[in-house]
Structure 1
Amino acid sequence: MSHHNLYIDNKLIISRDFKAPIHLVFKAWSEAERFEQWWGPTGFSTGVTDFDFRPGGLCHYYIESPDATKMWGRFIYKEILPDKKIEFLNCFSNEDKGVIRAPFSETWPLEMFNILTLEELNGITTITLIVAPYNASDAEVKTFGENHANMELGFKGTFDRLEDYLLKN
């Protein structure tokens, strides 16, 4: 199956180095009890309700803000190459695992396609994450493109948490 039609102009590419071996970085993404310790924005707590890490499997989780507001999210895994690559669709979700519109925008893409790749050199693991709107309308693609800076900021907070987690584990 070719994913080339997904590589549209507005894809976001984020890259970050971590001082940790590749197998540990992969485990942080592939094991529920690790994932919930770092995923989500700074200051939020995360709970995983379903975690089926295999192609076609689902991760259903919530993030909870300091004032106890819960937001749900969902991953559906597509392709998994251990210690190398994870492809997944993600979206905002409800408690019943359904796809919902983002709470902050009427024109945010309902789903996004993510390609996460890992490479290790001299004990440093580089994560590269490509995010692109999936089956999106022109308006959704435009909104996604206009929000790259916000997304980069959001991922910076999440990856800061991953960094802290990896240093402690």
Structure 2
Amino acid sequence: MSQHNLYIDNKLVISRDFKAPKNLVYKALSEADRFEQWWGPSGFTTHVSTFDFRPEGICHYCLESPDGATMWGRFVFKEILPNRKIEFLNCFSDENAGVIRAPFSETWPLEMFNIITLEENNGTTVLTFIIAPYNASDTEIKTFGENHENMELGFKGTLDRLEDYLLKN
């Protein structure tokens, strides 16, 4: 899957070190009850509707903002190598897991391809997140490229939440 319709030149790469064993980081990514404790922007609550962690399985979730506004998202898992790599397509969705446009942009790619890798060295796990537009138009690819900084800020909040979760578990 990694090679198909993946715009490598326009990818966003985010890497973070966690003082936690790789198997705990993997569990936080692969188990619904753990995932909903940290996924999403800072201040948001995550509610998992479906979490079928297997190739072609779906994670369907709702993010609730502090003011009560909701946004739905969906992952379709593609390749899973336990404790090493998770590949998935993600998108904004409706309550029924159908693909919808991002609420903030008419030119945001409908789907994104994601690769998460985990590497452990002396009790520290390096999580690397690679995100790229998938089956996107030139305009969507351009919009994605122009928003790397905003995405980095958003993922910083999400990964801060993951770090807090890992320190408590």
TM superposition score category, shorter chain reference: over 0.9
The CA deviation at 1:7 is 3.9
The answer for the alignment partner of 2:148 in structure 1 is: 148
Q: TM-score, normalised by structure 1?
A: 0.98
The amino acid that maps onto 2:55 is P
Distance change in 2, residues 1:132/1:67 (3 Å): same
The answer for the alignment partner of 1:12 in structure 2 is: 12
Give distance in 1, aligned partners of 2:156 and 2:18: 13
The CA deviation at 1:2 is 5.7
The CA deviation at 1:9 is 1.4
Taking the TM superposition and a 5 Å limit, the aligned residue runs for 1:1-169 are: 3=3, 5-169=5-169
Give distance in 1, aligned partners of 2:75 and 2:8: 21
Q: TM-score, normalised by structure 2?
A: 0.98
The CA deviation at 1:120 is 0.1
Give distance in 2, aligned partners of 1:2 and 1:12: 14
Other structure's SS at 1:20 match: coil
Provide structure 1 residue ranges, at least 5 long, that are not aligned to the other structure.
none
Stretch moving more, 6-15 or 112-121:
6-15
Runs of 4+ in 1 over 4 A off after TM superposition: none
Q: CA RMSD in A?
A: 0.9
The one-character-per-residue Cα deviations of 1:37-61 (angstroms, maximum 9, x if unpaired) are: 0000000000000000000000000
